Amino acid sequence: MDSRSLCPVDERADAPTVQRVTETPFRTVIEPFRIHSVEPLRMTTKAFRETKVREAAYNLFQLHADDVLIDLLTDSGTGAMSRDQWAAIQHGDESYAGSPSYFIFRDAVQELFPYQHIIPTHQGRAAERILFQCLGGPGTIIPSNTHFDTTRANVEATGAEAVDLVIEEGHDPAALHPFKGNMDTALLEQLLTERGSDIPCVMMTITNNSGGGQPVSLANLREVSEIAHRHGKPLFLDACRFAENAWFIREREAGQGERDVPDIVRDIAALADGMTMSAKKDPMGNIGGWLALNDNALAQQARNLLILTEGFPTYGGLAGRDLEALAQGLKEVVSHDFLRYRITSTAYVAEALDRVGMPCIKPAGGHAVYIDAKSLLPHIPPLHFPGQALAVALYEHGGIRSCEIGSAMFGRHPDGSESPAAMELVRLAIPRRTYTQSHMDYVIEVAERVMAIKDTLPGYRIVDEPPVLRHFTAAFEPIS
């Protein structure tokens, strides 16, 4: 992976192995770990995969995971835990109430996000459900830069309206803006002025997952915080990829390049009044989440809802051992060595795909690469699902599982009508610490092979679908 665009080596966040001397960096950024326990990959043939994907009705969610060679469906819960996380699991205490594992978890969260109340949940959407059950409801509006789909669904489930206010550049795959996840603060100011009494809080998603894993700047967060608080509204972070976002701030924002990531994270936390969190992302867990906040009355209400469906407030639907693994993961994810490798390796894939002619959203996000299938496969109309066509081809040719984010996912509306989505994307999400550079070089070679036959790829039609969230279970067939 190429490091030419990166800062000189400076590892204050990684004490005690401090290396303060500025050295000439090497071009190759290596994986900052070696492999301790391995999982076999099952090699398969193209003929085998063609059979499997036909049996799965050309829906990659319906494949058995052991028929997949490189699984880039999601980065959620699919990361490799470290030696020290597995050791922490042995330290897990499964007491129903007051487990020491809870206090270890709480302290690790508060080290980065010093909120008063830390409430564990089984994953991020449970924290969202509880928060919006407290704050949402019919007639209310929740603005965000862009709501993630579970966040939007949990807002709407209470009868509230979810509004996305990302900046103009956030809608343009080719716009080279360093912080394409930023909120349009003029639109936020206007919404708060016109509808303030209907707005219980403001959300910010860092990084902006639905917008291509794009970061939010510290300056934008400051402005959003100032506007929200001037209108008397609390600001909540959807902070799933806070460490990747902080690294982008360090790399791209004026005056931030010499700072430690944990300090940047604490600055971000101080601008908000609380957070929802999926610990299956940056905290390096296979499961988990939390809701954190300062308001005592709101925390009391949230804990009461937690007890109804998640569990007692010192475990919230998790085992004690999970809480310990997350506490350790939080210490590892803010390492500069890890983040340099993480962000560089994602950009490496995006740049290589661009080189073989597959256009990607630019600049590359933190956790995933998004291929623009609409411009790649102009012979397939949007409602014949060019993203699905590319995703199926990547699986048939190389055993790579990706995720269509286009008209198969968003093209059908509640009234049963269909219209094309804004973009036809294929997302290659990169699990944390799971695949090596040669795995990614293989992905790039498969992409090259698919490029050679791209004009022959068929479109697809849906032959069976459920009324909502059809992409998970719909049956497709190729159009000959």
Q: Is 428 helix (H, G, I), strand (E, B) or coil?
A: strand
Q: Residue 236 pairs with which residues in a beta bridge?
A: 203, 274
Closest CB to ligand PLP among 281 and 384? 281
Interface residues with ligand PLP (CB under 6 A)? 76, 123-125, 148, 150-151, 205, 209, 238, 240, 278, 280-281, 289
Give min distance, CB of 45 to ligand PLP, in A. 33
Closest CB to ligand PLP among 240 and 352? 240
User: Distances in Å between the alpha carbon of 360 and those of 172, 304, 347, 369, 426?
Assistant: 11, 45, 10, 7, 9
User: Distances in Å between the alpha carbon of 165 and those of 36, 142, 169?
Assistant: 44, 11, 11
Element (H, E) at 120: strand 117-121
Give min distance, CB of 247 to ligand PLP, in A. 16
In the bound state, the residue with its beta carbon closest to ligand PLP is 124
Closest CB to ligand PLP among 88 and 126? 126
Give min distance, CB of 240 to ligand PLP, in A. 4
User: Cβ contacts of residue 142 below 8 Å, gap of 6+?
Assistant: 132, 135, 136, 155, 160, 161, 162, 163, 199, 200, 201, 202, 203
Closest CB to ligand PLP among 205 and 374? 205
Give min distance, CB of 77 to ligand PLP, in A. 7
User: Cβ contacts of residue 417 below 8 Å, gap of 6+?
Assistant: none
Closest CB to ligand PLP among 179 and 476? 179
Cα 217 → chain centroid:
17
User: In this structure, is the dihedral angle defined by the CA atoms of residues 77, 469, 401 and 240, taken in order, positive or negative?
Assistant: negative
**In which region does residue 429 sit, left (phi positive, over 0), alpha (psi from -120 to 50) or beta (all else)?**
beta
Closest CB to ligand PLP among 67 and 164? 164
Give min distance, CB of 146 to ligand PLP, in A. 9
Closest CB to ligand PLP among 118 and 380? 118
Give min distance, CB of 416 to ligand PLP, in A. 27
Q: Residue 143 pairs with which residues in a beta bridge?
A: 163
User: Cβ contacts of residue 230 below 8 Å, gap of 6+?
Assistant: none
Give min distance, CB of 289 to ligand PLP, in A. 5
Closest CB to ligand PLP among 275 and 347? 275
Closest CB to ligand PLP among 58 and 247? 247
Give min distance, CB of 76 to ligand PLP, in A. 5
Give min distance, CB of 287 to ligand PLP, in A. 8
Cα separation, 51 vs 295, whole angstroms: 55
| b/e sequence 195-221, b meaning 16+ C-beta within 10 Å | eeeebbbbbbbbbbbbbbbbbbbbebb
